[in-house]
Amino acid sequence: MWDGFNKRKFPRLHLTCEVVVRPQGKELAIKTTTENVGMGGICVMLEQPLERFDRCKVVLELKDGEPPVQCSGRSVWIVPHRDIKTSRTLYDTGIEFLDIDDFSRQRLQAFLVQPKKG
């Protein structure tokens, strides 16, 4: 996984949250967990590759007792990764948030700054 986090406009935290990614124009719903989360987007490991700049719907569960955050997004980078244990190719994928409403942005900000329990 790419680790240039300190250079990001929106730094990301290594957090595991449930997420559903629905590529635009496809009926496919990809359920996975985040590798990291930030104000600008998420990183997820996918079994099927998205194309770079594909738009998608993102449903992100913040585990804060509220409904999931929903917004549109777009894949900005995809890095193929061979899983040593299974020999499968997985796709380390960065998804930028688009069209996230102010309420969801505020919830995300609060979630990212609250102390995390081990």
Strands 18-23 and 30-38: antiparallel
Please say if the pLDDT value at position 76 is more than 90.
yes
Mean pLDDT, residues 21-36: 93
Ordered by start, the domain boundaries in the chain are 23-29+47-73+91-113
Q: Answer for the pair 60, 17: CB distance below 8 angstroms, yes or no.
A: yes
SS3 52: coil
Q: Which of 6, 82, 81 is nearest to 38 (CA)?
A: 6
Give the pLDDT confidence of 42-66 residue by residue, as tens digits.
999 999 999 999 999 999 999 888 9
Residue with tokens 């993102």: 58
Across 61-111, the runs of DSSP E, i.e. the strands, are: 69-82, 89-98
pLDDT band (50, 70, 90) for residue 106: very high
